[in-house]
Chain A
Amino acid sequence: MAMCTVLRCFSVSLTSSFTRLSSRNPLTPAKLLAKTCYRRSLSTNTPFCAALKFTDKHEWVRVDSGVATVGISNFAQEALGDVVYCGLPEIGTKLSQSDEFGALESVKAASELYSPLTGEVTDVNDALADTPGLVNKSCYKEGWLMKMTVSVPAELDGLMDEAAYERYIKSIED
């Protein structure tokens, strides 16, 4: 259900983008390409792409203009329960792929978070200090955890796309 919601949000975004485009002065082909390319699979040649990729530890990552935003999936937030605390890294922390970068606390349980990529932390979501529940309510948007640089773009190719992640979840639940 979460995947459908995510895809629906992207569909709505695409439609409204086209509506805005037609009502303005025509954009250059490059800008039009940038707005629509998130539907294509991510590769090292398209740094503008903003498709969600997933790890087997249920973190998601979205790369936009060379910056990766990281969060946890809907499956993960449901399995955790109500998040009451987010332990996040300092800005500037250097992480290798799969390094522990923090922990989320829910129901008196601290669950580790693992970096989906190699890079450096550039931002953390300060809103989570006062409203950790955003991780449950809006895990793909307002509940993002951190942003980081992408030192090894090829690592993205090894992550699951939405369809593969959905299959992965089904295989766990069976």
Chain B
Amino acid sequence: MPVRKATLRVVNLGRICYHSALKIQQQHIKQHLESCSTPPNTLLLCEHEPIYTTGIRRAPYNLKEEQRLQALGADFCRTNRGGLITFHGPGQLVCYPILDLGCFKKSIRWYVCELERTVISMCRMFGIEATTSPDTGVWVGENKICAIGIHCGRYITSHGLALNCNTDLTWFQHIVPCGIVGKGVTSLSQELGRDVTLGEATPKLLEAFTEQFNCTLTYDLNSVETQ
């Protein structure tokens, strides 16, 4: 008997405030935790206005640091994800898989590895050779092209990955991205020497997702959800 593939519902939120997207994530998580039936696993896609976010390791980023970054014109948010400080902004494809790992494999280590492989596979479609490293995320040489930061509670995942398409990378100069000194950041556009938009990257990321997670996608056509 053939193994039934998991289904992922793709919801494209478009350009959305980080805090609004966070609320939408919480709603999806709540559905998984409180529903008697099996709610769909969901892939939220979006793009944010400039914001710096931190994870559960808050100590390195005090109020002074928060104010310094806000003075640059960015928002600031402390979250419950893993990973250190990062930047989200226009030109960056952000993907929040809200998955029940029970539908896949109940291991966070496996899940993060699969996310990395998904992005590496997507980069390969662009002719870019990307790799993993001892620091979680996806790298092209010494430069990170995609950051990953996850939360998992009762096997329900949230937060996710942030892939630089044609992001203004100068925003990263004001932080030590992901707390890793001496390494840089890059984007699809920087690597290819041409403008690569979210519109071009998104279908390739979704294709890589279906292959890596062995799933089928359904599309929420009326995708732009409000809170």
Q: Which residues of A contact B (CB under 8 A)?
A: 57, 78-81, 85, 87, 100, 103, 105-112, 114, 172
Complex: A11 Cα to B113 Cα, angstroms:
38
Cβ–Cβ < 8 Å partners of B82 in chain A: 105-110
A110 touches B109 (CB 8 A): no
The one of B80, B109, B154, B178 that contacts A107, using a Cβ cutoff of 8 Å: B109
Query: When A111-B152, A112-B152 are in contact, do A106 and B108 touch as well, CB less than 8 Å?
Result: yes
Decide yes or no whether B111 CB sits under 8 A from chain A.
yes
Cβ–Cβ < 8 Å partners of A78 in chain B: 107, 109
A79 touches B106 (CB 8 A): yes
Q: Which residues of B contact A (CB under 8 A)?
A: 55-57, 80-83, 106-113, 136-137, 148-154, 178
A82 to chain B, nearest CB (A): 9
Complex: A80 Cα to B152 Cα, angstroms:
11
9 more CB-based (< 8 A) A-B contacts, given A108-B137, A111-B152: A57-B154, A78-B107, A85-B57, A87-B56, A105-B56, A107-B112, A107-B136, A110-B81, A111-B151
Cβ–Cβ < 8 Å partners of A107 in chain B: 82, 108-109, 112-113, 136
Cβ–Cβ < 8 Å partners of B151 in chain A: 109-112
Query: When A79-B108, A85-B56 are in contact, do A112 and B148 touch as well, CB less than 8 Å?
Result: no
Cβ–Cβ < 8 Å partners of A57 in chain B: 154
B108 touches A111 (CB 8 A): yes
Cβ–Cβ < 8 Å partners of A85 in chain B: 56-57
A interface majority secondary structure: strand
A110 touches B56 (CB 8 A): yes
Least CB separation from B79: chain A residue = A110
Cβ–Cβ < 8 Å partners of A114 in chain B: 154
Complex: A111 Cα to B159 Cα, angstroms:
12
Cβ–Cβ < 8 Å partners of B83 in chain A: 108
The one of B56, B109, B137 that contacts A103, using a Cβ cutoff of 8 Å: B56
Cβ–Cβ < 8 Å partners of A81 in chain B: 108-109, 112
Cβ–Cβ < 8 Å partners of B137 in chain A: 108
Least CB separation from A113: chain B residue = B153
Query: When A110-B81, A110-B152 are in contact, do A105 and B55 touch as well, CB less than 8 Å?
Result: yes
Q: Which 6 pairs show the lowest CB-CB distances between chains A and B? A: A81-B109, A109-B150, A108-B136, A79-B107, A108-B83, A112-B153
Complex: A156 Cα to B108 Cα, angstroms:
27
Complex: A57 Cα to B112 Cα, angstroms:
19
24 contacts between A and B (CB under 8 A): A78-B107, A79-B109, A79-B110, A80-B108, A103-B56, A103-B80, A105-B56, A106-B82, A106-B108, A107-B108, A107-B109, A107-B113, A108-B81, A108-B82, A108-B83, A108-B112, A108-B136, A108-B137, A108-B178, A109-B82, A110-B55, A110-B150, A110-B151, A112-B153
